[in-house]
Amino acid sequence: MDFFTELLSNKVLITCVTAWFIAQLLKIILTFYTSKKIDITRFVGSGGMPSSHTSFVMSLATSIGKIYGWASPLFAMAICFAFVVMYDAAGVRRAAGYQAKVLNMIIDDLAHHKPLANERLKELLGHTPKEVMAGAILGIVIAQLMI
């Protein structure tokens, strides 16, 4: 029982989960605003505005910086980890999403000439730089408010 008590009293972890939760909730709200449809799957889906991965890791880095100091090795490790996650979100995963989009167009073109399986690839894998920036700002703000 002591483990769960300590886990639930970990302010840094609670801050990170809160930043992730708010980012995912914002995805549902923004999707509703743009498409006038409630899409609950956006709560667990990847991609979209803002980047919840970025919110999570930037709230982690900001919380650690505030608690242990901006010059601490722990903050350096957290911010380096955040930069890797953000690079991946905006770079590698976005490129994979673009490739999925092109492959889906090829499948659509081929489907007009001969029957193919209609299994479509997921295109919303990564983030635009704006989505990553919004996630970073959200994570920093949540950490500033909670720690």
Q: How many CB atoms lie within 10 A of CB 126?
A: 22
Average confidence (pLDDT) per 10 residues, the chain, 147 residues? 89 97 93 85 79 95 98 98 89 69 74 63 68 93 95
Backbone angles phi, psi at 40, to 5 degrees: -65, -25
Residues sharing a CB contact under 8 Å with residue 42, sequence separation 6 or more, in sequence order: 24, 27, 28, 31, 48
Q: What is the pLDDT of residue 94?
A: 64
Render the burial of 58-84: b for 16+ CB within 10 Å, e for the rest. bbbbbbbbbeeeeeeeebeebbeebee
Tokens 């995912």 sit at which residue? 24
pTM over 0.95: no
Q: What is the pLDDT of residue 88?
A: 84
Q: What is the pLDDT of residue 16?
A: 97
